[in-house]
Amino acid sequence: MPKIVLDDGASRAEVDVETVVNALKKASSEYSSCVSSGKSKDVCYVEAVGELFSAFGSAMINVFYDEDLRYFAVKSADHMVTV
Higher pLDDT, 1 or 30: 30
The helix/strand/coil state of 14 is: strand
pTM of the entire structure? 0.86
Note the helical H segments in the chain. 17-36, 41-56
Residue 4: pLDDT over 80? yes
| Backbone region of residue 77 per phi and psi (left: phi > 0; alpha: psi in -120 to 50; beta: other values) | alpha
Domain carrying residue 12: 3-82
Share of the chain above pLDDT 70, in %: 96
- The distance of Cα 44 from the centroid of its chain, to the nearest Å, equals 15
Q: What is the pLDDT of residues 62-79, one digit of tens each?
A: 999 999 999 999 998 887
Work out how many domains the chain is built from and give that number: 1
CA–CA distance, 1 with 26 (Å, rounded to integer): 20
